[in-house]
């Protein structure tokens, strides 16, 4: 103790020093506990972060698998689209060919109808001509019959005259 310091002050000082050491020890213990708690919290946060990362990685893998499946579907749909486009092109060509064939047949049909009409006209002309010829023949037959009748008469007269001359 320092000379001239009253005992009470010295005791008070000693208590204050003891209280200060106790406080320092308590603060140090508090810091250690705080550090431990912070470490535990950091560890827990690290574990939680790692778990979240693993969950996210699993989700990413799942999404990548879905994406790959969708990409395969898209590729298959594109293949189908190409196939359908080729079929459509073939069908369009076939329809065009059929349309051309229909047009050709329509033209042929029109020509045949024209020919049929012409043949009908020719047939009508032939029939008229045949009627005219038939009428002429009837007239000729009638004249021949008249001539024959006259010849018969004349033969009869000739025979009568021949009979009289004998």
Residues 6+ apart with CB under 8 A from 13: 5
The pLDDT of residue 2 is 59
Asked if residue 1 lies in contact with residue 10, where contact means CB atoms within 8 angstroms, the answer is: yes
Average pLDDT over residues 11-40: 84
Closest by alpha carbon to 14, among 26, 2, 25, 4? 2
Query: Alpha-carbon distance 90 to 148, whole Å?
Result: 82
Residue with the bigger pLDDT between 6 and 28: it is: 28
pTM above 0.95, yes or no: no
Average pLDDT over residues 60-76: 95
Average pLDDT over residues 76-104: 96
The pLDDT of residue 3 is 67
Share of the chain above pLDDT 90, in %: 61
Share of the chain above pLDDT 70, in %: 96
Task: Share the mean pLDDT of the chain.
Answer: 90
Give me 34's structure tokens. 């705080």
Given a cut of 80, is residue 151 above it in pLDDT?
yes
The pLDDT of residue 101 is 97
User: What angle is formed at CA 63 by the lines to CA 55 and CA 83, rounded to 5 degrees?
Assistant: 170
Cα end-to-end distance, the chain, whole Å: 222
């Amino acid at each position: 103790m320092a000379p001239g310091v009253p005992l009470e002050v010295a005791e008070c000082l000693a208590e204050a020093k003891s209280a200060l050491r106790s406080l320092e020890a308590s603060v140090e213990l508090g810091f250690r506990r705080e550090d431990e708690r912070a470490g535990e919290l950091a560890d827990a946060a690290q574990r939680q972060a790692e778990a979240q990362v693993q969950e996210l990685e699993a989700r990413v893998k799942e999404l990548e698998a879905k994406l790959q499946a969708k990409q395969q579907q898209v590729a298959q749909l594109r293949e189908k689209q190409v196939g359908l486009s080729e079929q459509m092109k073939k069908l369009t060509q076939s329809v065009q060919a059929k349309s051309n064939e229909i047009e050709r047949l329509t033209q042929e049909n029109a020509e045949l109808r024209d020919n049929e009409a012409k043949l009908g006209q020719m047939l009508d002309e032939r029939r008229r001509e045949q009627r005219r010829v038939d009428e002429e023949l009837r007239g000729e037959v009638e004249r021949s019959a008249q001539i024959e009748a006259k010849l018969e008469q004349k033969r009869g007269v000739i025979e009568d005259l021949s009979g009289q001359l004998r």
